[in-house]
Amino acid sequence: MLASLTAVAAALTGAPPAQAGTAPPAAVACPAELGAKATCFTGQDADGAAYAIAVPKHWNGSLVVHAHGGPDLGAGSDPQRSVDDLARWSVMVDEGYAWAGSSYRRGGYGTRMAAADTESVRRLFVERFGKPKRTYVHGQSWGGDVAAKVVETYGRENGPYDGALLTSGVLGGGSRGYDYRVDLRVVYQYYCHNHPRPAEPQYPLWQGLRADSAMTTAGLRSRLQECTGYASPPEERTALQQRNLDDILAVTHIPERTLESHLRFATFTFRDIVRDRLGGRNPFSNTGVRYSGSHDDKALNAGVERFSADPTAVRDLSYDSDLTGKVSIPVLTLHAIDDPTAFVEHEAAYRATLRGAHRDRYLVQSFTDEHEHSELSNSEYANSITALDSWVRTGRKPTPGSLATSCGAFDRTYGTGCFYEPGFHPSAYATRVRPRPGGLHWPAMTAAQETAWSRIDGVGITP
Tell me what percent of the residues of the chain surpass a pLDDT of 90. 92
Region 19-35: mean pLDDT is 83
Instruction: List, as one string, the DSSP characters of 369-425.
Output: S---SS---HHHHHHHHHHHHHHHHH-PPP-HHHHHHHHHHHHHHH-S---B-TT--
H or E element that contains 188: helix 179-192
Confidence (pTM): 0.93
List C-alpha distances in Å: 424 to 348, 366, 386, 404, 405.
11, 8, 22, 12, 15
Distance (Å, whole) CA 177 – CA 273: 13
H or E element that contains 140: strand 135-140
Check pLDDT > 70 for residue 10. Answer: no
Check pLDDT > 70 for residue 435. Answer: yes
Region 62-83: mean pLDDT is 94
Q: End-to-end CA distance of the chain, in Å?
A: 31
Distance (Å, whole) CA 321 – CA 283: 12
Which pLDDT does position 37 carry in this prediction?
94
Q: How many CB atoms lie within 10 A of CB 13?
A: 19
- Write a three-state SS string for 430-463: HHCCCCCCCCCCCCCCCHHHHHHHHCCCCCCCCC
H or E element that contains 239: helix 239-252
Strand, coil or helix: what is 301? helix
Region 27-44: mean pLDDT is 94
- Pairing relation of β-strands 26-28 and 38-44? antiparallel
Check pLDDT > 50 for residue 214. Answer: yes
H or E element that contains 40: strand 38-44
Dihedral of the CA atoms 268, 274, 275, 279 (nearest 10)? 170
Mean pLDDT in the chain?
94
Which pLDDT does position 102 carry in this prediction?
97
pLDDT range class, residue 35, cuts 50, 70, 90: confident
Region 62-70: mean pLDDT is 97
Task: Please write the tens of the pLDDT for every residue from 118-161.
Answer: 999 999 999 999 999 999 999 999 999 999 999 999 988 789 99
Task: Please write the tens of the pLDDT for every residue from 340-373.
Answer: 999 999 999 999 999 999 999 999 999 999 999 9
Distance (Å, whole) CA 122 – CA 102: 9
Region 313-327: mean pLDDT is 98
List C-alpha distances in Å: 133 to 97, 126, 162, 373.
11, 11, 10, 31
Distance (Å, whole) CA 286 – CA 251: 14
Which pLDDT does position 21 carry in this prediction?
55
Dihedral of the CA atoms 42, 321, 433, 167 (nearest 10)? -30
